[in-house]
Each structure stands twice: as structure tokens, then as C-alpha cells.
Amino acid sequence: MYSSVKVLWLKERDAKLHGKTVIVTGSNTGIGKMTALDLSRRGARVILACRSKPRAEAALADIKRESGSNEVVFMQLDLGSLKSVRSFAENILKTEPRFDLLINNAGIYMPGTTEDGLGVMFWCQPHRSLPVDQPAVRPSEGVCKLCNVLFTHELAKRLQGTNVTCYTLHPGAINSELFRDVSKVFMILMKPFLMFFFKDTVAGSQTTLHCALQEGLEPFSGRYFSNCTVRNLYANAREGTVAKKLWENTVAGCQTNLHCALQEGLEPLSGRYFSNCTVRNFYPKAREGTVAKKLLYE
């Protein structure tokens, strides 16, 4: 498996990206960092879009040193915050005359919710146009991974005729810091498997680089790649109606969050519940102040 990845990668090893701008999310560690390093060596202007400023600045120094390029910058982006996403997008539009490639690499493996009340593992995975996925397209596996595939399928439809393409991919099982937030006991138990059965981050970045660099992939926009090869998916991951509905629900969810964040005059409605950009009334049990106080303080 590793040899096939390396042979395929040789086809793109001479590709140059001078004058191109690339955004890589989650690029302060793991395959995101290796991807950013490779692209910077090819002459691209690389933007490290990361949540942690100290970790990103350390990665920035490493990449500049190893690539010999000064065209690498850090811009803060917390995918767990719609406010941060909006601020990042506004900053890009103001400061960058162009950008040519967006690699949505960031991911997280931990429970909890974002500041906007959305599931961390679902919302902070790379849904949005080169998502780097994990193997989860069978019906019994993770829903958020299936959503990556469906979202990219629908995005490709909406991008037809624009000369913009998108792909989703599985990099393989990677020995990286993805599990850094899980228990130490779990990591001790996993260490032998990580060492002997998982790819390192250089091998793990090859399918991402293939999709980013290989010429002639335009007819495969919206498709799923693994080991630098386009793959056929199970029927549930090709369902166009579900993909469209996922897109519409995602947009609707974002609109309500943006409404609550940006709309003036909502102060009297603090503590209330919104849906479809409208304040809603609850059943009595959801307005029970005594219960709410007990949950919060006891």
C-alpha cells in the first residue's frame, strides 16, 4: 500500500506553485503540517489556518526553516466558532488578492459542543474544497464522515461551470496527534498499533497532495479518493437527495446562528430559543426556572 502511494506521488513531485495561494486548516501538526510544508517547498504562498496561536507559530517557524520559504503566514481560525470563521473569511477577502486552493484538513476527536451549541466532532470536521476525511462511508460508521462525502458531492454540483473543483479523501490510518485529547491509558494501549500499522504523516499527506496537484482530475470533481485513487462509494454516500437536504440544513443552521450573532435589538430576548431566525416559545418544562437553576449551580 505504501509503495503504491509513493509511486503515484512521483507524478506530482515536480509540480510548482509559484504565484499560487493555499489555505490549509489544522496545519500546525500531523498531515496538515506535512501538506503545508510540501506546498511551501513548491513555491506557494501558504496560509496556516489554525486555532492555537502558540502551536501555529511553532509550526510556522518549522515550515519556514525546512522549506526555505518566507511565503508562509499564520491566520487564526477556530472552526468551533462561527464568529471566528466569519472573521477569518473577512480577513482573507481584505488581505489576499487571490487564493487558489483550500485544503480543509482540520479535525478533532473529542466529545462536547462548540460555543454555538453544535457538536464538536461534527462541526469541526472538514465539511467544506478539499475535505480530508476518515473511512466512514458504511451505514454503520460515523455520520459526520458520511456528511463530508455528501456535502462535497452537492458542492461539486453547485460549482459546475465555475472552473472550481472539489474532492473528498481518506488519507489512511495516520499516526498523528488526532487523538491527543483522549485518555493517556487509551494512548498507551494504542501505541503498538500506531507504530506498526499506521502511516506516518508524510505518507498520510500523499493523497491530499495528489488531489491538490494532479492535472486532469477536473472530471472527478465531487468524488472520493483513497491512496491517490478515485474510489466508488456505497449507495448511501451517493444519494443526491440526501446531499441536497444536508446542504440546505447546513445553510439554514448557519443563518440562525448568524442572525443571533449579528442582529441588533435582540437584547430583550437574551436566554430565549431561536429557530429559523425566529424566537420560539417552549413547552412549560423547558421554561422551568427552578430546574434550570439546579442544573447550573448544583
How do residues 172-226 score in pLDDT, each as one tens digit?
A: 666 656 555 556 665 666 666 666 567 788 888 999 999 999 999 999 999 999 8
Asked, for residue 92, whether it belongs to a domain, the answer is: yes
Grid cell 453544535 in the structure block, residue: 118
Better-scored residue on pLDDT, 249 or 213: 213
Asked, for residue 277, whether it belongs to a domain, the answer is: no
Asked, for residue 20, whether it belongs to a domain, the answer is: yes
The three-state secondary structure class of 27 is coil
Asked, for residue 280, whether it belongs to a domain, the answer is: no
Asked, for residue 149, whether it belongs to a domain, the answer is: yes
Q: Residue 196: CA atoms inside 13 Å, Cβ hemisphere, count?
A: 5
Total count of domains within the chain: 1
pLDDT, residue 193, reads 62
CA dihedral 249, 252, 256, 258 (to 10 degrees): 110
Better-scored residue on pLDDT, 144 or 34: 34
How do residues 31-68 score in pLDDT, each as one tens digit?
A: 999 999 999 999 999 999 999 999 999 999 999 999 99
Asked, for residue 253, whether it belongs to a domain, the answer is: no
Range of the domain at 203: 2-246
Q: Does residue 148 carry a pLDDT above 80? A: yes
CATH number where 210 lies: 3.40.50.720
Asked, for residue 293, whether it belongs to a domain, the answer is: no
Asked, for residue 260, whether it belongs to a domain, the answer is: no
Give the 3-state secondary structure of 55-107: HHHHHHHHHHHHHCCCCEEEEECCCCCHHHHHHHHHHHHHHCCCCCEEEECCC
**Residue 254 dihedral angles phi and psi, to the nearest 5°:** -65, -40
